[in-house]
Amino acid sequence: MKKISLEKIKKKIESGFFGFWVQKWRFTFVLVALIIVVGIFSVYEIPKETSPDIDFGIISVGTVYQGVNPQDIDNLITEKIEQEIKDIQGIKKITSTSVVGFSSIILELENDANTNDVIVDIKDSVDKADLPSDAEEPVVTEISSDNELMFNVLLYGEKDIYSQLYLVEKARRIKSNLAGKGSITTIDVGGYAGMESVDGIGGNSQTYDVYVLVNKDKLEALGMNFLQLGQILQQWNKNQPLGSHVIDQFSYDFRIQGSFDTLEQLKNIPITTREGFIYLKDIAKIEKRLNDDNFYRLGAYQITGQNYVALKFNKKSGANIFDASTSAKELLEDELNKYDYDGLSVLYTSDMSELISKDYDGLINNFLQSIVLVFLSLLVLVGIRESLIAATTFPLALLVTFIVLDQMGMTLNFLTNFSFLITFSIAVDTTIVIIEGANEKIKLGYNPKNAILLTVKEYKGPLITATITNVVVFLPMLMLPGIMGKFLAYIPITIFSTLLAALFIGLTINSALYFKIAKKKNYFENDEEQIQYMNKEDLALLEDDRKDKEQKDHQSLSFRENMLNKINDWYFEKITWVTENVKRRFWAVMIPLIGLVVSFVFLAPLIGFKLFPDNDNGYMTMSIVGKKGLTNKEMEKQLYFTNKAGQTLDDILANTPEIKVYSYNVMGNSVSINLEFLDPIERKKDGMRNVFVLEKYFDKELNFLRSYGLRINIAALKDGPPGTKEVGIKLIADSNKKMQNLIEISRDFENYLRDIPGVKNVGNSSQETPGQFVYTLDAAKLSMLGLTPGSLYLDLYALTNGRNAGTLKGQLDNHNIKLKYDGFDKGMTPSDLDQININTQAGQINFGDISTYSFDNAISAVSREDTKISIVIDANLELGYTSNQIQSQLDTYASSYIFPDGITYKQSGENQENADLINAMLMAFLIAIFAIFGILVFQLNSYLQPAIIMYSIAVGLLGANIGLFVTGNAYSIMFGIGFISLTGIIVNDSILCLYKINENIRIGMEPLKAIRYAGRSRLQPIIVNVLAATLGLASVINDDFWKTLAITIIFGLLFGSFSNLFALPSLFYDKQKIVLLVKRALIPIFNFIKRPIVVFIGLILFSGFFELGFLGSVWFAVFVVLLLIIYAIWYFKAQYMQWINNGATQNHDALNMKIVDLHGKNLSKKHISKRMFWFLLLLIGPLVLTGLLSILIGGYAAMFGLFIYLGLGVYNLYLFWTGENGQLLHDKLAETKIIYVLSDKN
C-alpha cells in the first residue's frame, strides 16, 4: 500500500507542464540545441545598427530667398508660413529660425500623430501662403534617424594644389560611377564632414553652378538691359519638340536640339547688335563656381593644409552592414585605382561597421566577463555543476531574444544591447532561486529529480509573479513622449523578451539540466525543524530518497558546506537578536527611513542632475566666432594668428596625437570644427588623454585667439539624441516690433551668465551683424512717373542678386546658369546700387534718383517658438558642475529682472527642454509602482505586505543615493533606468521572502519562528544574487556612460538586500501595529480635509461655469488661508465638544479606540483640554517657530522646521511602536493612554 502511495506522489509531481521538461529531458536538450542553432543564425541575420530606426515626428519646412536679410525673411516667409500651419492637428510645437536668405521652420508632432498625414496637411497649407514670387518653393522634409549610412569618405588634397571645385568634380565622378553598384544605393556629396552625416550649405547636393558675369558698361553700350540678355540665353538654351510624324508606315519623333552641354557652347551664343553680332564671351566672363562658397579644411596628426569634400555612402535597407561596407570599400578602392585621382587621399570617418564591431566586441567581452564572474561566485556558494547550469540561463535567454527580435523585424542596436545589460541580474535571479532551492532539498536527502521538481512546484508562483512585476515596471516606458521616448521604447520590448525567456528557461530547461547534471549525494544533513513542518507527501518522498544514504554532521561536511552553514548560523543569530526585541525591530526599520530623508535633504542637491552622464565617446566640437560681418576669406586669415611659440590653430591640432582627423568649415565670421579622436579604449591603453582633459587642454592652448577678439566654444559631444545646452533662459516678445528691446535684454543675460563660475560656451541665438542699409523710395517721384514700388522690386532683385538663366547639362549633373553683373558677385556698395538703371514703363531710370538710404542695426537671425519671437541664452558646464547649481542662479536673476511690457521669459536648458520626458518618466515610475502594488495585492491578498515590499524599494533608493554621492555621479536617465531595474530585483527578493514567511506560517510555525527560518532560507540566494549582480555589472563600472546605472543597481541592491533580511522581517512581525498606526494617521486627516476638498471642488466648478478668473489671484489665496484657519478652529472646537459630551470623537469611534488616563479611567474635562492643548501645540508650534526663525535666519528656517517635524514624527513612531499603551507624544505629556482592539487582518 505504501509503495502504491509513493508512486502516486511521484506521478503527481512529475506530471503537468513543468514536470514534462524533466520527464522528457531528451526533448528538452533537443530544444536547447534548436535554440542555439536558430539563435546563432538570428544573430548573424539580424541587422546591426548603432541606433534604432526612429520616426522622430519632426518635420522641417525650408525656404530659400537669396540675399534677403533675417528680419525680412521672418516677415515675408517665416511668419506667413507659420500662420498657415499653426492650427494643423497633430503639431505639438513650432520653432523657426530666419537667417540671411533662408527660412527654417521645425515642427514637432504629437506622439500619436501620423507623420505622413501631417506632412500632406503641411504641404497643402504651405501652398496657400502668400510668399514673394522670387522666393524658391518651400521644401517640406521629414527628419528621421539615418540607419542606411555605411561610412563617410573624406577625399582630400593639398589646398594650394587641389581646389575645392576640383575635389567636388572628382567626388561627383565617384558618385556617378559607384552609386547603385553592389550594396551602395546612394552616395551624397557634401562639403562638411559632421559626426554622422554630411551637412553644410549645399548639403548632400554640393555641385557647381555656371556664372555668366556680365560687363555692365558693355551691355549698356549695346543698348540692351540685364533682363533682355537673360531671355536671350534662355531662348538659345532649349530643346524644341516638333511632334511625331509617319514615314513609310513608321512613326518618327522630330525635335530641335538646342540645350547646352559644354561651356564653349554657352560662350559662343551669338548676340545681335546694330553692327552685326557678337558672342556672349565678348561681354561676359563664364566660369564654374561651387554652389557653396564656404571653405572646407581637413587635418590629422602631423597633417595640415588640406582641402576636402565628404562623400556619404548609404547601403540598401536591411543589408548586412559588415558585408555591405566591405564590398563598398573594395569598389571605392578599385575606382580610385582606375581613374585619375593622383595626389588625392581618402580618410574614412563614421565607419558604422567599425563602430558596431567595436560595440559588439565590448558587449561580448562584458558579457563573457560577467558570466565568468557570476560562475565563479556561484562556484564558491553552490558548486561547479550548479554554476554551469546558472551560467547557461542568460546566454540561452539572449538567443531566444535574438530570435524574437529577428522575427519582429527589429534590429540590434545600442538600446537592445543596453537592455541586455540591465536584465542580466534579473534574468539570472530566477535560476539562482531554483538552483538554491533544489540544493537545499538535496542537502535534506532528496535525489536531484525530486529536488528540482519540488522546488519548481514551490517557487513557480512567486517567480511568475515577480517576472510579471518586472515586465510591468518597464511597461510605461513604451508611452514616454518626444524623440527620447521613442528611443527608450526599444528597451521594454527587448526586456520583455529576455525576462520571459529567462523565466521559461529557469522553470523548464534548467530543471532538466539540473536533473541530469546535479550530483546525487550519498549523504544528507538532518534538519529536524524543516522536517517537522513537512507535509506527508514530501516527507514520504524524502524517506524514500534517503534510503542507502548516511547522515553527516557538520564535522564531516566539506569546507564550502561548513562555510555556508556558519554564515547561515550567524545570520540566524542576528535576525533572532533583532526580531526578539521591539526596540531593535523599530530601529531596524526606522534608521533606513531616516537615512532616506536625510539623503534627499543633504545629498540630493549635491548629486545634481544631468540628462546623460559625461562620457568619452571620441568626438568634440569647436566653434570660433570673429567680428560681426567678416567674410569667409577674412575669417580664414584669423585662423593664421599665432601664439608665442609661433603655432597656429592647425599646428596645435595637428600636433595632438589623440586626434584621428579634424575638419572645419569657414562660413562668414564663424568656424565650425569637428574633431574625431582615436578609439577611447586604445587611448586609455596607450596612456593618452580623454576628451575632458583634451577639452581643457584646447581651451588653454587656443586662449591666445581670444586676445585677437575671437570667441571660442569647445564641447565634448554627449551620448544620446542631440539636445540643447545644459542651462539657459528663453526671452520671448509678443511682437517683432520689440526685437531691439529683446536684443538689449539678451545682452544683459548673456553677460550675467558669463560671470557665473563653472559656465562655458555661453551662446546667444541672436547676434548682431555690422548693420544694414535701409532704402526709402521717393513716393512723389514714383507717382510722377506713374510707378509703384511693386513694379520695381522684381527687376531690382534680379539686378542685385542675379537671375537663373536655365541649366547646363554636364557629363554627371545638370548645373544652374546664373546671370550676374561682373563685380556684383563679390560685393556691392550703396554707390553701386545708386547707379543701377532699371527699365520701367516710364523708360530707363536710375535707382539713385528715386531713393535715399540710411544705416541701421541688424541681426544675424530671428527665432520664433510657437509663432512668438524668442532669443535663447544658453551655456555648457565645466566638468563637476550640475545644471541645478547654475540654472537656479540664472532663474533668480531672471525673477528679479524688470522686463518691459510684452517681454517675458521662461527656463530653457537641457532639463527644461526635456521636462516633458523627465515628468513622464516620473509618472511612468509611479504608474509602474501602482501596477506592481496591484499585482502583489492580488497575489498576496493583502495591502500591508505589498506596502512592506515598497519599503524595501525605498531603502534601495537610499543605497542608490549614497552610491551616487560617494562615487561623484549625478542623477541621469541612466539612474532612472537603473533604479527601475533595481526595483525589479528587490521586488523579486521581497516576494520570495514574504512567500516563505507566509508558507511557514501556513504549515504551522509561530510567526517569530516563521520569520527567522524564512530569512535563513533566503539568505544564501540573496547573497548569491547580490554577488551575481555586483560582479555582473563590474565589467561596466569603469565605463563613463554605464557606471551610473551600475552604481545605482549595486548600491541599491546592497541596501535593499539588508532591508529584505532585517527590516522586512521586523515590519512583518509588527504588521498589526503598522495597520493601527496607518489608520490612526489617515482617518483623522481624512475627516479633517473632506469638507475643504468638497468646498474647493465646488469653487472650481462655480468659477468654471460662470467663467470667473479669481482662482489664480492673490486675494483668492488669502481668502482660502483665512477660510482654512476659521475651519480649523471650528473643527477642533467641534471635536472637543463632541468628546466632552459623548466621551469620544468620531475619529475614536472609527478607530475602535478609547482614550483613558494612566489608571484606565475616563478622562475629565480638564484632562481632555490638556490633551487637546498638547496636540495643537505640537502640531502648530513648530510651524510658528519656523516662521519666527525665518525672520531671523532666513532660508535655513524651513530646514530647521522640517527637522523638528521629522524628529517629532520619529519620536511619536518610537513611542507608539515600542510602547504598550498606544501612546503618542501628546498622550505621554497629557498622561493618557489608548485602549483599542487589535485586528488580525493584514
What is the overall mean pLDDT for the chain? Answer: 84
Looking at the structure, tell me whether residues 1001 and 1122 fall in a common domain: no
How far apart (Å, rounded) are the C-alpha atoms in residues 620 and 678? 12
Residue with cell 516667409: 77
Looking at the structure, tell me whether residues 1114 and 1218 fall in a common domain: yes
Looking at the structure, tell me whether residues 78 and 120 fall in a common domain: yes
CA atoms within 13 A of residue 359's CA, in its CB half-sphere:
19
- Helices 448-474 and 414-444: angle between axes, nearest 10 degrees: 150
CA atoms within 13 A of residue 905's CA, in its CB half-sphere:
24
For 806, the 3-state DSSP assignment is strand
Query: Residue 652 falls within a domain, yes or no?
Result: no
199-208, 894-903, 1227-1236: least confident range: 199-208
- Write out the E strands in 1079-1218: 1153-1157
How far apart (Å, rounded) are the C-alpha atoms in residues 206 and 245? 42
Number of domains in the chain: 4
For the chain, give me the number of helices (H) and strands (E)?
46, 36
- Print burial letters for 786-818: b (CB count within 10 Å at least 16), e (below 16): ebeeebbeebbbbbbbbbebbbbebeebebebb
Alpha helix stretches (DSSP H) within 413-509: 414-444, 448-474, 482-488, 490-504
How far apart (Å, rounded) are the C-alpha atoms in residues 814 and 828? 29
Alpha helix stretches (DSSP H) within 941-972: 944-967
pLDDT of residue 2: 47
Looking at the structure, tell me whether residues 136 and 173 fall in a common domain: no
pLDDT of residue 1188: 76
- With a cut of 90, say whether residue 30 has pLDDT above it: yes
Looking at the structure, tell me whether residues 1108 and 1128 fall in a common domain: yes
The 10s digit of each residue's pLDDT in 1001-1041 is 988 889 889 999 888 888 888 887 788 778 777 777 877 77
- With a cut of 70, say whether residue 279 has pLDDT above it: yes
CATH number, position 949: 1.20.1640.10
Last residue of a domain, one of 144, 163, 195: 144
- Print burial letters for 1056-1078: b (CB count within 10 Å at least 16), e (below 16): bbbbbbbbbbbbbbbbebbbbbe
Q: In the 3-class helix/strand/coil scheme, how is 157-224 assigned residue by residue? A: EECCCCCHHHHHHHHHHHHHHHCCCCCEEEEEEECEECCCCEECCCCCECCEEEEEEECHHHHHHCCC
**CB 839 within 8 Å of CB 847:** no
| Cβ neighbours of residue 728 closer than 8 Å, sequence gap 6 or more | 872, 873, 874, 875, 890, 907, 908, 909, 912
The 10s digit of each residue's pLDDT in 1158-1178 is 888 888 888 888 888 888 888
- With a cut of 60, say whether residue 1242 has pLDDT above it: no
Looking at the structure, tell me whether residues 36 and 110 fall in a common domain: no
- With a cut of 90, say whether residue 782 has pLDDT above it: no
Phi, psi (deg, nearest 5) at residue 1217: -70, -45
- With a cut of 60, say whether residue 128 has pLDDT above it: yes
Residue with cell 461655469: 1105
**CB 482 within 8 Å of CB 406:** no
Looking at the structure, tell me whether residues 374 and 329 fall in a common domain: no
- With a cut of 90, say whether residue 701 has pLDDT above it: yes
Residue 653's pLDDT band (cuts 50, 70, 90): very high
Looking at the structure, tell me whether residues 1023 and 1117 fall in a common domain: no
Alpha helix stretches (DSSP H) within 78-149: 79-85, 115-128
- Print burial letters for 732-756: b (CB count within 10 Å at least 16), e (below 16): bbeeeebbebbbebbeebbebbeeb
- Print burial letters for 96-117: b (CB count within 10 Å at least 16), e (below 16): bbbbbbbbbbbbbbeeebebee
Phi, psi (deg, nearest 5) at residue 596: -65, -45
Q: In the 3-class helix/strand/coil scheme, how is 671-695 assigned residue by residue? A: EEEEEEECCHHHHHHCCCCCHHHHH
| Region 994-1004 average pLDDT | 89
**CB 178 within 8 Å of CB 184:** yes
**What share of the chain has pLDDT > 70, as a percent?**
94
Query: Residue 212 falls within a domain, yes or no?
Result: no
Last residue of a domain, one of 1069, 1085, 1118: 1069
| Region 276-297 average pLDDT | 84
Give the 3-state secondary structure percentages of the chain, helix then strand then coil, rounded to 5.
60, 20, 25
Looking at the structure, tell me whether residues 493 and 376 fall in a common domain: yes
pLDDT of residue 197: 37
**What share of the chain has pLDDT > 90, as a percent?**
17
Phi, psi (deg, nearest 5) at residue 446: -70, 150
Query: Residue 617 falls within a domain, yes or no?
Result: no
CATH number, position 314: 3.30.70.1320
> Taking Cα atoms as reference points, which of 322, 449, 434, 432 lies closest to residue 378?
432
Residue 1's pLDDT band (cuts 50, 70, 90): very low
Last residue of a domain, one of 114, 144, 174: 144
Question: What residues does 768 pair with on adjacent strands?
Answer: 859
Residue 1066's pLDDT band (cuts 50, 70, 90): very high
**CB 712 within 8 Å of CB 702:** yes
- Helices 973-1002 and 1043-1058: angle between axes, nearest 10 degrees: 20
Question: What residues does 96 pair with on adjacent strands?
Answer: 105, 864
| Region 933-962 average pLDDT | 90
Query: Residue 988 falls within a domain, yes or no?
Result: yes
**CB 696 within 8 Å of CB 327:** no
The 10s digit of each residue's pLDDT in 967-987 is 988 888 888 888 888 888 888
Residue with cell 513604451: 478
More confident residue, 380 or 1006: 1006
Most confident of 353-367, 370-384, 466-480: 466-480
| Structural domain span for residue 343 | 149-207+305-350
Query: Residue 907 falls within a domain, yes or no?
Result: no
CATH number, position 84: 3.30.70.1430
Query: Residue 484 falls within a domain, yes or no?
Result: yes
Looking at the structure, tell me whether residues 419 and 345 fall in a common domain: no
Q: What angle do CA 597, 603, 608 make, to 5 degrees?
A: 125
Residue 825's pLDDT band (cuts 50, 70, 90): low
| Region 700-704 average pLDDT | 93
Query: Residue 884 falls within a domain, yes or no?
Result: no
For 140, the 3-state DSSP assignment is strand
How far apart (Å, rounded) are the C-alpha atoms in residues 23 and 32? 15
pLDDT of residue 1239: 47
pLDDT of residue 201: 30
Answer whether 0.95 is exceeded by the pTM: no
pLDDT of residue 1157: 84
| Region 103-114 average pLDDT | 86
How far apart (Å, rounded) are the C-alpha atoms in residues 418 and 408? 19
Looking at the structure, tell me whether residues 9 and 120 fall in a common domain: no
Query: Residue 644 falls within a domain, yes or no?
Result: no
- With a cut of 90, say whether residue 1098 has pLDDT above it: no
Residues in the chain: 1242
| Cβ neighbours of residue 222 closer than 8 Å, sequence gap 6 or more | 271, 273, 278, 283
114-118, 122-126, 1079-1083: least confident range: 1079-1083
> Taking Cα atoms as reference points, which of 703, 688, 850 lies closest to residue 781?
850
Looking at the structure, tell me whether residues 1031 and 1082 fall in a common domain: no
pLDDT of residue 1196: 67
Question: What residues does 298 pair with on adjacent strands?
Answer: 306, 663
Find the Cα–Cα–Cα–Cα dihedral 578, 582, 584, 590, rounded to 10°: 120
Residue 331's pLDDT band (cuts 50, 70, 90): very high
- Print burial letters for 1214-1239: b (CB count within 10 Å at least 16), e (below 16): ebbbbbeebbbbbbbbbebbbeeeee
